[in-house]
Structure 1
Amino acid sequence: MKMSGDEIRLIQRAKKGDPAAFAEIYDRHQPAIYRYIFYRVGDAATAEDLTSEVFVRLVERIDRFTYRGRPLLAWLYTIARNLVADHHRRAGRPSPLPLDERLTASAADPEEALARRLTQQRLIAAIAYLTEDQRQVLLLRFVEGLDNETVARMLGKSVGAVKALQHRALAALRRILERDGGP
């Protein structure tokens, strides 16, 4: 994922202090950053606070942003990842991943909703056994829908390492879920 000419111009405007440019960056990237943080902390209020802090830091540090093959969103994810790590350090331990209410809300009947919720709870419990790198790759790839190249740039890893982490994470999830009776 490379930056478009439009995004480069937007960043140039932001570096000049244009409030409309910051507003546009926020509108474009806030939903993805919030979602990423929410899935990492499991609490809406904390996710909102940390998301706000990401954009405060964007305003404070936009002059430090230099295009090096990574889009602005990757830089924002890096800020978010660091804030989440700081949050977990202060809290003493990571919070569990939250349940995604959208999956259970779309069920046609209560029995289907319960089955989905149970499946989801088992998946979340299984994800807790993965390494932090594996969880992060799965989140960025499957929740955020980012490609391997973008995830690699964000995490400072090679594309091959991201693919290997993804493969190992999915294999581990399969083993855990099969051991515990399947999804």
Structure 2
Amino acid sequence: MSSSNLAAAEKDLIARIQSNKEDFLEIYETYFQRIYNYAYYRTHNQNDAEEITSQTFLKALEHIQDYEYRNIPVAVWLYKIASNTLADLYRKRGKTVEFTDEYALNDAGCGPEEVLLGKSEKEQLTYFLKNLPPLQQQALILRYMQNFSLKEIAQVMDKSEGAVKQLLHRGLTCLRERMVRYV
């Protein structure tokens, strides 16, 4: 579907939902798994991911009447809501660190090398990814796990495309350095 056809279809969908909220189910079914995956990649916690996902769709449904289509895809709007909901969660909780087996191993005198030896490549990547600064983490997840364009990432993050490129470059460089160090 061309971008003009997609834009027209999304405009039509929003208009239908604004007149009949039951049509919101179409957005929910289309984007639920993607929003959940994004929340899970960002939190690494199933309960938090479920909470963020449900809050995202609840907020979207509550504010669909105010939504004006301005050539920004519905997906970008939903990811923006999810990002803000995640930030609200972190603000509400303060900076807390969840106790996991990895921390128990570190407390028992095992270093990161020993923790990583028993992990698959995907688990290692996830381990390093979750230890990146939040903005780099968000940019990398949106780009490589959610397949967003630079423009869409910039819209979600309220950054310029140049700033997004810089975040991606720094994040990839940091990941590469950390992974090479432990391989």
Q: Same fold (TM over 0.5)?
A: yes
Contact 1:34 1:47 in 2 (8 A): yes
- Pick from 11, 28, 34: which aligns with 2:14? 11
Cα offset, 1:40, TM superposition: 1.5
Q: For residue 103 of structure 1, what is the aligned residue in structure 2?
A: none
Tell me the matched-pair count. Answer: 164
Contact 2:42 2:137 in 1 (8 A): no
SS of equivalent to 1:12: helix
Structure 1: give runs of 5+ residues left out of the alignment.
97-113
**2:155 & 2:59 partners in 1: Cα distance?**
20
Structure 2: give runs of 5+ residues left out of the alignment.
99-115
User: CA-to-partner distance for each residue in 1:91-149, whole Å, 9 max, x for gaps?
Assistant: 333667xxxxxxxxxxxxxxxxx978343343233224422111000000111111111
The residue identity in structure 2 corresponding to 1:153 is Q
Q: Identity across aligned pairs (percent)?
A: 34
**2:166 & 2:160 partners in 1: Cα distance?**
10
**What is the TM-score of this pair, normalised by structure 1?**
0.79
Contact 1:148 1:159 in 2 (8 A): yes
- Pick from 148, 161, 165: which aligns with 2:150? 148
C-alpha change, 1:43 and 1:130, in structure 2 (3 Å) is: closer
Contact 1:70 1:154 in 2 (8 A): no
Cα offset, 1:86, TM superposition: 1.5
Q: For residue 44 of structure 1, what is the aligned residue in structure 2?
A: 46
Root mean square deviation of aligned Cα: 2.5
The residue identity in structure 1 corresponding to 2:31 is H
**2:174 & 2:20 partners in 1: Cα distance?**
47
**1:43 & 1:130 partners in 2: Cα distance?**
17
**What is the TM-score of this pair, normalised by structure 2?**
0.79
C-alpha change, 1:129 and 1:38, in structure 2 (3 Å) is: closer
Q: For residue 174 of structure 1, what is the aligned residue in structure 2?
A: 176
Contact 2:38 2:146 in 1 (8 A): yes
